[in-house]
Amino acid sequence: MTFDSQAYAAQLQDKVTRLRDLLAPFDAPEPAVFDSPLKNFRLRAEFRLWREAGERHYAMFSQDDKRTPILIEEFPIASLRINQLMPQLKAAWQASAPLSHKLFQVEFLTTLAGDAMITLCYHRPLDEHWHAAAAKLATDLGVSIIGRSKGKREVIGHDYVVEKLDVGGRTFSYRQPEGAFTQPNGTVNQKMLNWAYQALGDRSDDLLELYCGNGNFTLPLATRVRKVLATEISKTSVNAALSNLSENAVDNVTLVRLSAEELTEALNEVRPFRRLHGIDLKSYEFGSVFVDPPRAGMDPDTCELTRRFDNILYISCNPDTLAANIAQLNDTHRITRCALFDQFPWTHHMESGVLLTRR
């Protein structure tokens, strides 16, 4: 793969044109554009292992052909740390029967801050021989190691990596657990956080956040408002978010493990939820809502819920569902800011953001 800057610029312009066209019916302003490094931008990678000529090799498969492996020695879109670790790990499993026996998948998770974790997946139980070899490997490589076999998980070091991101003149520390969602492009994620921080602005009222994940946006946005009510359905992400709030001494956030649909029911007083016990929803003076939904976008009821707020800050990984949600809100809200974040260079995928304010 070549990393030609002119080819990248042309691809990025195509994405800008696509976003502009999708938002044109809503009289959106020209999007701010945040580009990506051309290579070494991806902080996580997952490989199957493929045996050929008596050796295991890193392998990936194209979307069109799940049977023919593409053998890989290096992965230029992945972080420099991943590319450094790939040959070191391969040499280690080649030299160690406990590490290589029935090993079928490898996952890397790294951070801009330099932390790294490797997950090794096996079609066999993990014994003391594996644990001794993996402990030595973790020391030799300076990483945490997770061993996975059916229904079991062995942790050597930590089951998370730590990221540090600079937003609004402050450095935030994030615990990113193994197996949980994290933004793949750390450089663009930092740009995205700063855009959202600026778009929200300093406010004297409260913020509702849906789909908060590990608190990626929660931490910096909480410094802009009086207090935050945040929701997330994944237990792993909730635990990481609580740890991140504590680590960063952010004490004005109440986090509830509810889906966006359940919170909508709670705010509409459709039914009570035990997980909201002790939380006075009526004490909040919500002026803004922040949403970062999955690719499907917001369901109609959640979208309707956001209409009651003066400001809707919306980050989207699917511009088509973003446009569909804006169409539902367009009669009461207008786009005052928009942005394109090139989280996924060399693909057609894009991340975008809009600030909708009440007409």
216 has binding-site annotation: yes
314 is in an annotated binding site: no
Inter-residue contact 335 to 326 (CB < 8 Å): yes
Residue 351 annotated to the active site: yes
Q: CB neighbours of 7 closer than 8 A, spacing ≥ 6?
A: none
| Catalytic, out of 212, 303, 317, 338 | 317
Which residue is catalytic, options 154, 163, 178, 351?
Answer: 351
- What share of residues in the chain are helix, strand, coil (percent, to 5)? 35, 30, 35
Q: What is the CA radius of gyration of the chain?
A: 22
Residue 179 to residue 182: CA distance in whole angstroms: 9
Tokens of 58: 């890193």
Q: Does 214 belong to an annotated binding site? A: no
> Does residue 211 have a known ligand-binding role?
yes
Across the chain, where does the E strand assignment appear?
32-34, 44-52, 55-62, 65-72, 103-110, 116-122, 144-149, 152-156, 160-167, 170-177, 206-210, 228-231, 253-256, 286-291, 311-316, 333-341, 351-358
317 given a catalytic annotation: yes
Cα distances (angstroms) measured from residue 304 to each of 256, 326, 343: 20, 11, 28
Beta bridge partners of 50: 57
Q: Which residues are annotated as a binding site for S-adenosyl-L-methionine?
A: 183, 211, 216, 232, 292
Catalytic residue set: 317, 351
